[in-house]
């Protein structure tokens, strides 16, 4: 499913075979040399990739945008909820909260178990709330 996004990038930016393989893996699946290559050669062009994908996404109708979301969700579900690098770019366009909410709903309906820390958005909210409450308590105690 992520091949859809990689195909668009490959046509527009002349990706090499190594770029394509790298973009279809998650950061956890990469070794040190892959990460070095990614941050030196691909990450620096990320804004261009996002702008190009955003133009393609906005040119689509609501049905096309829904297809992109479905393709993204299926691609992430195939990996247990973990996005590869091309999926992460598309998530920035669609919106991470929207994607993670839809991913959670789709994984529950299909019975697919997500990997640990995939739905970290909920945990981040809990951590921020605990931090805010602690700061408020410490402020009131210092008064």
How many angstroms separate the CA atoms of 122 and 117, rounded? 10
Distance of CA 38 to the CA centre of its chain: 16
Q: Is 54 strand, coil or helix? A: helix
46 in a structural domain: yes
Summarised one tens digit per residue, pLDDT across range 65-95 is 898 888 888 888 888 888 888 888 888 888 8
Domain interval for residue 51? 3-114
125 in a structural domain: no
Summarised one tens digit per residue, pLDDT across range 8-66 is 888 888 888 888 888 888 878 888 988 898 888 888 888 988 898 888 888 888 888 89
97 in a structural domain: yes
Number of domains in the chain: 1
90 in a structural domain: yes
7 in a structural domain: yes
128 in a structural domain: no
121 in a structural domain: no
C-beta pairs of 59-65 under 8 Å, 24+ apart in sequence: 65/94
């Amino acid at each position: 499913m992520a091949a859809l996004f990689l195909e668009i990038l490959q046509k527009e930016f002349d990706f090499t075979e190594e770029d394509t393989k790298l973009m279809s893996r998650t950061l956890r699946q990469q070794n040190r040399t892959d990460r070095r290559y990614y941050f030196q050669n691909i990450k620096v062009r990320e804004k261009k990739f996002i702008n190009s994908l955003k133009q393609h996404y906005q040119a689509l109708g609501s049905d096309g945008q829904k297809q992109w979301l479905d393709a993204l969700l299926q691609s992430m579900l195939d990996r247990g909820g973990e996005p590869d690098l091309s999926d992460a770019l598309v998530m920035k366009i669609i919106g991470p909260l929207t994607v993670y909410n839809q991913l959670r709903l789709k994984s529950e309906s299909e019975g697919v178990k997500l990997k640990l820390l995939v739905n970290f958005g909920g945990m981040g909210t809990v951590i921020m709330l605990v931090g805010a409450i602690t700061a408020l308590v410490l402020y009131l105690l210092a008064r």
